Structure formats: C-alpha cells, structure tokens
Amino acid sequence: MAESPIPGSILQRAMMPGAGQTYERDKMETGGRMNNDELDRILSKQDDIQPSSGFAASVMEAVHEEASAPPPIPFPWKRALPVLIFAVLALAAVVAAGAVGIAQFGRNVTPEAASSLWDLLPPYLHGPAGTAAAWTAASLLAAFISVKLSLRLAGGRV
Amino acid sequence: MAITAADDQLAVERVLAGDIPAFEGIVRRWQSPLVNLAYRFCHDRGRSEEMAQEAFLRAYRNLKQWRKEAAFSTWLFALATNFYRSELRRIPVHVPIDDIHEPADPRAQDGGLEAKDRDRAVRRAVFALPEKYREALILFYFHEMDVPAAASSLGLPEGTFKARLFRGREILRGKLPQLLAVSRLKEA
C-alpha cells in the first residue's frame, strides 16, 4: 500500500483556477459567513516545513543513547513488601486502638473516666517531663527504624 | 520515494529484534509528517522539531505496543498527536488574538480586505478556538480532510470527531467577522 507522507493533494485542489471565486457567492448565500468549502480551501493551504538536515541524525543519537542506557532499577518489592505489610498492620492497630479508646471514652465521659484513662499510662509518663521523654524516645525509635529500613532497602542487608 | 506499509513493518521487526539502526529508516520516512504535524500545532519551527524528536523517542520505547491491526502510520500519528497535545497543554502556544473587539458592522468592513489577509486571519482564528475544536480542525486538515484518519489520530469515535469539527467550524465562522475587522484596523 503506497502512502504519501506529506499531505499535498488538497493544496493542488485548493490552488485550482476558480477555487477562490466561490467566496463572493458564498458570502451572498450565507450572509457574510464563510461556508465549509471556503474554510476548507483556506485551512488546507498550510505552509509545510522541511525538517533540518541534522534532524534524523539527532533523533538517532537520542535513540542510541536510550538503547545504551541501563534499564531502570525495578522497585525492590521483595524487600519492601514485609515492611509495607508491617506498616499497614501497625497503622491498622493504631487506628483500631484509637477507635476503641474513643468508643470507651464516649461511653464514660465523666471526669473520673478521663482521669482513669490517664492512669492507665505508666507513672513515669505523668507530668510534662515524662511526656517529653516519651515523645523523644518514640522519635528516636522511629528514626532508628527508618534508617534500618532504608539501609535494608538500598543495600540489601538484613 | 514510495512508502509502503511493508517497509514500516519490516523496519519495526528489525528494531524489535535488536537492530537499532533500522529505526533510522522509520525516522527518515516519517520525519517530515511528524515535524509538520507538530508545526501545525505550535507554529514554531524549533519547537516542532523538538516535539517530533520526542515523539520518535516515545515511538521507539513503545514499538512493542504497535499491534499491527492498524497501519504503522496510524499508530505513529496517534502517539505523536497524544504527545503534542499534552506538550501544548504543558506549555501553551500564544497567538496574539485576544485583542478582538466587536466592530460596528463587520459585514460592511470585510469587503475590501485582501484575500491573503483574510486567509491569515482565518488560520489565526483556529488558535483562538477551544482546545478540542482546535485539535479537530488541525488534524482534519493535516490528514487532507480524511475523517477516519483524523479521528483515529485523536483517539476519538468518528461521530464525536465530526461533531467537534462541525462545532469548531461554527465557532470559527462566528469569530471571523471580528477577526477581519481587526485585520483591517491594524492595516489602517
């Protein structure tokens, strides 16, 4: 099947003698608005450009670069999956614990109940210093886990 | 040089078999249409070559996805069109056309306008159309008014494409008296 890469026949048709003579008649027919033939004639007559001489070479250079580039590193699903599962389970546990806590708190909204929830925490966490210490410990733990997981994912070490 | 679908298929098979230089045949065959299609979208020679180069690279990366149900050119034009559209959404083309105002009587003013200026105004008006109508018109005339080819380049059913074409022409015709008047005012 022969295919023509550059539209051209429409240009020839548009340049045929008399192709532009329909304009005045069309104007009369449509009250000043162009009809489709006139639009077709004008819009088909577009200037074609020639690619620059080095275009194909430039494309091929890019293609060769693409071909010689190493394949993208696949995401390490094998190593990441246990971590992701653990994270999802931990999140679910936190959400569940929170939901249970809220449900219990909703049933016992008296000040006594609220203070009894606070009493569930270890005594060393009572007071501002204890709270700050607990948050610091939690942050350090989170940072430690993050570093360990990053090393494991990047370096393949367990 | 006559281009045949078999040439394309052979070249694609060779590239897929690892013969990367065979891709040059594809590039040489289709560089002019792809650059010209990009040019019709952006009217910027440098940018059209950049866009066409990226389209060829994408074609190379996705060569396996051509299922040979349609002609290679159909697949290539669809891929290029898709990329050009997204590229022009990212960095739109600015054609100075917003300074259109309503003349007192546009019909009275367009009588003496030179045909060349009128044609230029019509082409410029295409860039003032909403995106979906503009794309339909560009593809329609690029594919020599071949509706099925233009519709498949845009990945649209023919009916939808025809509706957009109709509406695009309607809007264009509606804007034209204003454009012609502006051209006259600029000339004066």
pLDDT tens per residue, range A4-58: 444 443 333 333 344 333 334 444 334 456 778 888 888 888 778 999 999 999 9
- Cβ of residue A53 closer than 8 Å to a chain B Cβ: no
Which tens digits make up the pLDDT trace of A100-126? 877 776 666 555 555 555 666 666 556
Distance CA B2, CA B25 (A): 13
ipTM: 0.80
Which tens digits make up the pLDDT trace of B115-163? 777 888 888 889 889 999 999 999 999 999 999 999 999 999 999 999 9
Parallel/antiparallel/unpaired status of strands B3-4 and A2-3: antiparallel
Mean pLDDT over residues B72-85, rounded? 96
Which pLDDT belongs to residue B94? 74
β-bridge mates for residue A19, sequence order: none
Mean pLDDT over residues A63-74, rounded? 88
Which pLDDT belongs to residue B99? 39
- Who has greater pLDDT, A8 or B33? B33
pLDDT band at residue B104 using 50, 70 and 90 as cut-offs:
very low
- Predicted TM-score (pTM) of the model is 0.64
Which pLDDT belongs to residue B187? 62
Q: Which domains does chain B have, with CATH numbers?
A: 5-90 (1.10.1740.10), 106-187 (1.10.10)
Give the mutation candidate from A59, A64, A65, A66 for the B interface (greatest B CB count, under 10 A).
A59
**In chain B, residues 129-188 whose CB comes closer than 8 Å to chain A:** 137, 141-145, 169, 172-174, 176-177
Distance CA B153, CA B76 (A): 9
Which tens digits make up the pLDDT trace of B20-32? 999 999 999 999 9
Distance CA B28, CA A57 (A): 9
Outline where DSSP puts E strands in chain A: 2-3
Compute φ and ψ for B127, nearest 5 degrees. Answer: -75, -10
